[in-house]
């Protein structure tokens, strides 16, 4: 039977130096309303697709929590035990009990990473420039380059006019492509603050001689200043190894060594893999495209800038070992140097020969035996399109709410797996129900739940919604479906909202700035280079 612990016990565990994962069973949008600082979202709807990667060692100590609703944490704990986890506890009373004990509750997502970004600005004195100053510099024709440190999809949605997309993990590696000499001023931006600060400070800590600034408050600050963002831009860095890779490596090596990042070879990696006393994450910090072209078997794609910005997407265990992989060592060293300072006790290595020998191609496959065991008829994308045209099928789509808004199978209903009962009144009894999801595995996992709601047969879309898009079939977009209040699966950013956008931007930026003080009050993070 799963043990139950109180808030004071968990508080002690957070500072005892042993490995610990705190998993929150709620959906991300619910999680974002209030959670523990070191908690990592592992929503029940995706537990089979997420838990194994988050917990690479099954006997690691795990505490599961929720919002005090009753049942969610227990259900996740039971699932973890079913896959072999042997040291699972449930926080009695969840987040409300934590708060009642006098401990700090944090709103938002990726909080450790965002708080760390604020600490970096304070600790290193990272200079920033406000939007009006940057606009004046550009208008005067000054030698200035604007580098956007977000992934391309975010950059395409909105960007600073004239900006170039160089995700944060690439900045030190590729900066030589964009500065014409020491007189070029570099301004790094993101949507808000974290990736602007970390990107600018990466260049400064690596020893770039140029003036480097973070754009204060990013694209949000730009718009709040009454300036217009660009949309649909795709300017980015040239592909391949940059000409300045050797100089970048020398800079990255100094930074990483100062932070206590270690190196190892494949033989050393195999030794770590055999050591079952510690959790081990093997993360490839190159771009997703490079990862897909060939990666080390067993590694996960975790682009460096995003790994630092959203560490809890990949790593749940405090005091774990992390091995980083890239081709030249620059991106892995810069990423590792920041991970070492994040206050989670990570032991970080750079794998020197990680791409030597046999490699695996493709985006990587999430292990999910539960989905593989589900036997259900599948329709191809053209078959589903034909049935929909004849009124002979109905679709439930299990994509993220934010993605469903941007484009979904016409006529589909949106839902969250484990919460689909709310759709029952909208389902016809005389037509097959087809489940569609970005990953076919997620649709398979939802079959039993839907079959319990309807008498009609249940099918899945073969290849998922990606197959529908690859077939060139139409998508329907509706920014209001689902409405903001229904997006429990995704923590809406200010610019994702349908109303109160400017107010939400201001509130978000104030929240980020205040994180440093909340972290100090909480006391569970020790940012900076840890003692050897």
Q: What share of the chain is helix, strand, coil (3-state, %, to 5)?
A: 40, 15, 45
Q: Domain 370-478 adopts which CATH fold?
A: Oxidized Rhodanese; domain 1 (3.40.250)
Please tell me the distance from the alpha carbon of residue 322 to that of residue 218, in angstroms, as a whole number: 30
Helix (H) / strand (E) element for 113: namely helix 111-124
Residue 532: per-residue pLDDT? 58
Within 8 A by CB and 6+ apart from 278, the residues are: 19, 57, 272, 320, 321, 347
**Class of the domain covering 3-108:** alpha beta
**Against a cut of 0.75, is the pTM above it?**
yes
* 259-351 matches 3-108 in CATH topology: yes
Q: What is the pLDDT along the chain (532 residues), one digit of tens a residue?
A: 789 999 999 999 999 999 999 999 999 999 999 999 999 999 999 999 999 999 999 999 999 999 998 799 999 999 999 999 999 999 999 999 999 999 999 999 999 999 999 999 999 999 999 999 999 999 999 999 999 999 999 999 999 999 999 999 999 999 999 998 999 999 999 999 999 999 999 999 999 999 999 999 999 999 999 999 999 999 999 999 999 999 999 999 999 999 999 999 999 999 999 999 999 999 999 999 999 999 999 999 999 999 999 999 999 999 999 999 999 999 999 999 999 999 999 999 999 998 988 899 998 888 899 999 999 999 999 999 999 999 999 999 999 999 999 999 999 999 999 999 999 999 999 999 999 999 999 999 999 999 999 999 999 999 999 999 999 999 999 999 999 999 999 999 999 999 999 999 999 999 999 999 999 999 999 999 886 5
Coil, strand, or helix at residue 287?
coil
pLDDT at 459: 98
Determine the Cα–Cα distance for residues 350 and 439; give it in Å rounded to an integer.
31
Q: Hey, what CATH class is 259-351 in?
A: alpha beta
Instruction: Delimit the domains of the chain by residue range.
Output: 3-108, 115-238, 259-351, 370-478
Write out the CATH class of domain 115-238: alpha beta
Of 124, 107, 135, 141, residue with least CA distance to 39:
107
The residues near 163 (Cβ < 8 Å, ≥ 6 apart) are: 146, 147, 148, 155, 189, 230, 233, 235
Measured distance CA(402)–CA(414) in Å, rounded: 11
Distance, CA of 213 to CA of 211 (rounded, Å): 7
How open is the CA angle 395-489-70, to the nearest 5 degrees? 110
Cβ–Cβ under 8 Å, residues 259 and 324: no
Output the CA–CA distances (angstroms, integers) from residue 233 to 13, 128, 157, 165, 217, in the order listed: 47, 24, 8, 9, 20
């Amino acid at each position: 039977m799963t043990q139950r612990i109180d808030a004071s016990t968990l508080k002690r565990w957070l500072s005892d130096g042993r490995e610990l994962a705190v998993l929150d069973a709620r959906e991300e949008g619910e999680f974002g309303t209030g959670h523990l600082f070191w908690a990592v979202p592992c929503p029940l709807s995706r537990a089979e697709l997420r838990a194994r990667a988050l917990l690479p060692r099954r006997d690691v100590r795990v505490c599961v929590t929720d919002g005090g609703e009753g049942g969610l944490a227990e259900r996740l704990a039971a699932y973890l035990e079913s896959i072999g986890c042997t040291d699972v506890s449930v926080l009695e009373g969840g987040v409300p009990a934590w708060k009642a004990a006098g401990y700090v509750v944090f709103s938002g997502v990726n909080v450790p990473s965002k708080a760390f970004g604020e600490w970096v600005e304070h600790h290193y004195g990272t200079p920033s420039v406000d939007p009006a100053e940057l606009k004046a510099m550009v208008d005067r024709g000054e030698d200035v380059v604007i580098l956007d440190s977000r992934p391309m999809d975010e950059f395409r949605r909105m960007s600073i006019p004239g900006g170039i997309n160089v995700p944060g993990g690439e900045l030190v590696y590729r900066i030589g492509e964009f500065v014409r000499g020491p007189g070029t001023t570099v301004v790094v931006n993101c949507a808000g603050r974290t990736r602007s600060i970390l990107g600018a400070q990466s260049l400064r800590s690596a020893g770039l001689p140029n003036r480097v600034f973070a754009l204060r408050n990013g694209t949000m600050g730009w718009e709040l200043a009454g300036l217009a963002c660009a949309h649909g831009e795709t300017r980015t860095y040239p592909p391949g190894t940059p000409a300045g890779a050797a100089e970048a490596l020398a800079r990255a090596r100094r930074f990483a060594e100062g932070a206590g990042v270690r190196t190892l070879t494949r033989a050393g990696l195999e030794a770590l893999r055999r050591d079952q006393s510690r959790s081990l994450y093997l993360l490839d910090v190159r771009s997703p495209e490079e990862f897909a072209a060939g990666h080390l078997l067993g590694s996960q794609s975790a682009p460096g800038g995003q790994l630092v910005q959203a560490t809890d997407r990949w790593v749940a265990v405090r005091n774990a070992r992390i091995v980083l992989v890239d081709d030249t060592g620059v991106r892995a060293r810069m990423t590792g140097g920041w991970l070492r300072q994040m206050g989670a006790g990570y032991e970080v290595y750079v794998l020197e020969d990680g791409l030597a020998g046999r490699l695996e191609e493709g985006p990587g496959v999430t292990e999910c035996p539960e989905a593989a065991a589900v036997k259900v008829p599948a329709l191809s994308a053209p078959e589903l399109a034909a049935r929909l045209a004849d009124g002979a099928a109905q679709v439930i789509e299990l994509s993220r709410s934010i993605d469903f808004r941007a484009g979904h199978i016409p006529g589909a209903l949106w839902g969250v797996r484990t919460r689909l009962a709310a759709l029952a009144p909208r389902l016809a009894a005389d037509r097959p129900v087809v489940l569609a999801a970005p990953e076919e595995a997620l649709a398979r996992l939802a079959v039993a739940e839907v079959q319990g709601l309807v008498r009609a047969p249940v099918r899945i879309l073969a290849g998922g919604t990606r197959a529908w898009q690859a077939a060139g079939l139409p998508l329907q977009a509706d920014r209001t479906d689902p409405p903001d209040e229904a997006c429990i699966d995704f923590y809406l950013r200010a610019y994702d909202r349908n109303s109160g956008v400017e107010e939400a931007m201001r509130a978000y930026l104030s929240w980020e700035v205040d994180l440093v003080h909340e972290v100090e009050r909480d006391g569970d993070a020790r940012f900076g280079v840890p003692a050897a």
